Amino acid sequence: MASSAIRPRVFLDVHVAEEPAGRLVVELFADKAPKTCENFRALCTGSNPTLTYKMSPIHRIIDEFMIQGGDITKGDGTGGDSIYGGEFDDENIGWREIDTAGLVCMANRGKNTNSSQFFITLAPCPHLNAKHTAFGHVVSGQAVLDRLAALPVDKNDRPTKPVLIANCGELERRKKAPTAATLAVRLPIPLSIDLRRTHAALGIATPPSAQKISPVQLNLSVAVAVALPSPTTGERPPPQ
């Protein structure tokens, strides 16, 4: 089961009237709703060519409420499918409130009727807390959501211009790197002291009592802190 440190991220490239509108990046709460997240992730990657969000429409937009899409079979909000073979049960409903914009939740026709349809909130929707599984949130693409929310719609809340998920997939995540560290090492430094040469260099006379002293060999060590580089972190899109 994934932890919050390595939650998967997927992307949805949206087109409006066949023109690119931008990319939505969604982080999946795979540690809270693993079955739901795996369904969404697989539909984004299109590992099964017949089960994919690619070229499916955003069929419903209600400003200050939500945008809805994911009908991969009919495209009008009456269909849908899943990697589990049809509908699957609700998962961990209520683990968090639907209390902010940008949450990605499963759309359904009632209890335990999840498939592929989803919606993204444009505002807090507390009245949906006990009805829908929240399984992700938008981490990039707020401008895209704002543009979609402003599109004209008909009396059935369908956008008057075609809105499609033109491409989608999973972003490659890299594990978080440890914080920068230092390595302490000790370097030996040999040091020889000859009092007679030292006095001569300073222009002073060596006392008779010191003239018979042989040069002294000292072994000193110095502690040095060396910074260790951190591995690169972040994410990158899959190869095109």
| 108 is a catalytic site residue | yes
Token duo for residue 124: 């807090």
| 128 is a catalytic site residue | yes
| 119 is a catalytic site residue | yes
Residue of 24, 28, 103, 128 marked active site? 128
| 68 is a catalytic site residue | yes
Residue of 9, 15, 59, 132 marked active site? 132
Q: What is the Cα Rg of the chain in Å?
A: 32
Residue of 23, 65, 92, 129 marked active site? 65
Residue of 41, 59, 60, 137 marked active site? 60
Residue of 24, 39, 41, 68 marked active site? 68
CA atoms within 13 A on the CB side of 17: 7
**Cβ–Cβ under 8 Å, residues 197 and 224:** no
Residue of 7, 9, 12, 108 marked active site? 108
Residue of 11, 29, 118, 119 marked active site? 119
CA atoms within 13 A on the CB side of 116: 31
Token duo for residue 70: 């994911």
CA angle, 96 then 172 then 15, to 5°: 75
For residue 43, the Cα-to-chain-centroid distance in whole angstroms is: 18
Q: Please list the active-site residues.
A: 60, 65, 68, 108, 119, 128, 132
